[in-house]
């Protein structure tokens, strides 16, 4: 816009004034045009259409695209060697925060509960909670983080998802997506199918009889009361992603 | 007689005015997020002086219950904020403009004199080039704060993948507190900045858009800004 060389030769008063006017006109004109364009751009983003609810929902279309692109970028930094910090048991909260009852308010028939796992072959496994409890138990005391901003050190016990997969011979399925998560996060060594909290069986409010504890994701991904596990090449529906939250919500 | 005195480069003006609306969106969307767990307050000896934030404030700005929307905006505009910042810092280093910006040894003492002068306690202001000592400190601080916002932001955004940043920021809690405090810092900076710009007058403000100031040769010795 401006040419720094211009003023080196002092001109007559009139020609300097002309230069001042010309440069002010160009710069203020550009400023006004770009400012108006930016404001228009903001307006159209702010009023951009909300995505139709499918696998995700509730977010402005361009913002959803940005969330997905950001995920792809930050996924480059994901590693199963990046472990969540763990704490001694004594630091775990005695009263574990329970944020919502969504999905837990219907009556649970604990005796007849079976975890349904659909294999690639079409075979359906029906797994009892005792079968799961018979697997090697992993205790995890970590800082549980919520999208709302709060966090709490909590103590969960259960079977690592990798151990679960290995035991039931689900390795071929792990090439695919998991219950609303990518393979990498599900196979993270600290991802567990939890049936205990503070060494006690899960209460209904915390997702009895079996829930997902996945420390590399925000709380909204830590699904309570798991009923079935499917493996797919396509992302399944996700409750909170339909409410406008990031589908991946990785930490 | 009037002459043109070059002051601000195009890149400096561009990044300055691009940053302003981006930072505004970041602060706004940050408040949409913060609302969901608004636990910060200033309490001294059991008495709470300031609560961040009172309900009338939230309602006035239509902040309540927009967490998901806030996160979506925040995680888009963080890119623009960061890229614009990197562009400015790289330009400042490469062009050598940092020499006019970064505080010098004498700036710390001089800034005090500038303050006394601005408060009309002292008559004379110390001599200066493009920026006075107080400006050097303030404008460098705001860049450091910007870098701090990006680092603490990443520490909260990906505390597992960037665990070393979270550690560097003193943990998840403290990173979130710094991130919040820096935002208050921006608002504080903004208020002082605008007051100073108004006091400095049109010619000074004009230069951040046009790049130059108009100097009257005869009275040159008398002009400070």
| pLDDT tens profile A129-148 | 999 999 999 999 999 999 99
Q: Looking at residue B76, what is its pLDDT?
A: 96
User: CA B96, B100, B105: angle at the middle one, nearest 5?
Assistant: 115
The answer on pLDDT for B53 being more than 60 is yes
Q: Looking at residue A1, what is its pLDDT?
A: 45
CB contact under 8 A, A146 and B3: no
Averaged over A180-206, what is the pLDDT? 88
Find, among A152, A144, A141, A128, the residue nearest to A199 by Cα.
A141
pLDDT over 90, % of chain A = 46
CB contact under 8 A, B209 and A31: yes
Mean pLDDT taken over chain A: 86
Which CATH number is associated with domain A61-96+109-243? 3.90.420.10
Give the tens place of pLDDT for each residue, B10-20.
Answer: 999 999 999 99
Determine contact: B159 vs chain A, CB below 8 A. Answer: yes
Show Cβ contacts of residue A215 under 8 Å, excluding neighbours closer than 6 positions: A84, A140, A142, A144, A188, A190, A191, A251, B160
Per the CB < 8 A criterion, the answer to whether A131 and A158 are in contact is no
- In this predicted complex, what is the ipTM? 0.86
Q: Looking at residue A102, what is its pLDDT?
A: 77
Q: Which residues of B touch A184 (CB under 8 A)?
A: none
Find, among A29, A27, A35, A31, the residue nearest to B4 by Cα.
A27
Which stretch of DSSP H or E encloses residue A44?
helix A13-46
Q: Looking at residue A240, what is its pLDDT?
A: 87
For residues A101 and B143, which has the higher predicted lDDT (pLDDT)? B143
* Calculated CA dihedral for residues A182, A147, A139, A107, nearest 10 degrees: -90
Question: What residue spans define the domains of chain A?
Answer: 4-46, 61-96+109-243
* pTM above threshold 0.90: no
Cα A56 from Cα A234, distance rounded (Å): 13
Q: Looking at residue B132, what is its pLDDT?
A: 82
CB contact under 8 A, B158 and A58: no
Query: Which of B76, B163, B210 lies closest to A28 in CB terms?
Result: B210
Question: What residue spans define the domains of chain B?
Answer: 2-222
Helix, strand or coil, per DSSP, at residue A220: helix
Between the alpha carbon of residue A203 and those of residues A116, A197, B74, B133, the distances in Å are 21, 8, 36, 62
Give the tens place of pLDDT for each residue, A16-47.
Answer: 888 899 999 999 999 999 999 999 999 999 99
Instruction: Quickly name the fold that domain B2-222 has.
Output: Fumarate Reductase Cytochrome B subunit (1.20.950)
């Amino acid at each position: 816009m401006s040419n720094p060389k211009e003023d080196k030769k002092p001109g007559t008063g009139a020609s300097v004034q002309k230069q001042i006017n010309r440069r002010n006109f160009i710069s203020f004109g550009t400023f006004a045009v770009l400012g108006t364009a930016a404001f228009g751009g903001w307006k159209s983003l702010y009023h951009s259409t909300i995505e139709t609810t499918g696998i995700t929902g509730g977010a402005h279309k361009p913002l959803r695209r940005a969330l997905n692109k950001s995920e792809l970028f930050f996924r480059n930094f994901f590693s199963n060697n990046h472990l969540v910090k763990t704490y001694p048991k004594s630091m775990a909260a005695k009263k574990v925060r329970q944020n919502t009852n969504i999905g837990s308010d219907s009556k649970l028939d604990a005796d007849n509960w079976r975890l349904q796992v659909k294999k690639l072959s079409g075979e359906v496994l029906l797994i009892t909670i005792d079968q799961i409890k018979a697997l090697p138990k992993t205790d995890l005391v970590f800082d549980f983080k919520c999208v709302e901003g709060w966090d709490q050190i909590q103590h969960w016990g259960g079977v690592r998802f990798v151990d679960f997969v290995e035991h039931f011979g689900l390795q071929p399925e792990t090439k695919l997506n998991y219950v609303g998560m990518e393979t990498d996060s599900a196979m993270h060594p600290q991802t567990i199918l939890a049936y205990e909290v503070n060494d006690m069986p899960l209460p209904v409010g915390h997702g009895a009889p079996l829930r997902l504890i996945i420390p590399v994701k925000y709380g909204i991904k830590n699904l309570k009361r798991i009923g079935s596990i499917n493996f797919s090449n396509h992302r399944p529906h996700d409750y909170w992603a339909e409410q406008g939250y990031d589908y991946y919500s990785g930490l | 007689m009037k002459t043109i005195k070059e002051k601000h480069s195009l890149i400096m003006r561009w990044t300055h005015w691009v940053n302003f609306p981006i930072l505004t969106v970041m602060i706004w969307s940050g408040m949409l997020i913060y609302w969901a767990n608004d636990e910060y307050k200033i309490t001294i000896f059991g008495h709470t002086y300031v609560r961040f934030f009172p309900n009338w404030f939230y309602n006035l700005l239509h902040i309540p219950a927009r967490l998901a929307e806030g996160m979506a905006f925040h995680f888009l505009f963080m890119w623009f904020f960061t890229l614009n910042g990197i562009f400015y810092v790289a330009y400042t280093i490469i062009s050598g403009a940092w020499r006019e910006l970064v505080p010098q040894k004498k700036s710390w003492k001089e800034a005090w004199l500038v303050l006394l002068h601005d408060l009309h306690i002292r008559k004379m202001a110390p001599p200066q080039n493009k920026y006075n000592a107080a400006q050097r400190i303030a404008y460098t601080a705001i860049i450091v704060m910007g870098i701090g916002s990006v680092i603490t932001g990443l520490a909260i955004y990906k505390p597992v993948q960037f665990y070393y940043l979270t550690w560097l920021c003193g943990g998840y809690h403290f990173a979130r507190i710094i991130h919040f405090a820096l935002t208050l810092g921006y608002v504080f900076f903004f208020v002082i900045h605008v007051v100073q710009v108004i006091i400095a007058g049109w010619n000074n403000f004009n230069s951040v858009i046009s790049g130059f100031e108009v100097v009257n040769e005869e009275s040159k010795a008398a002009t400070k800004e």
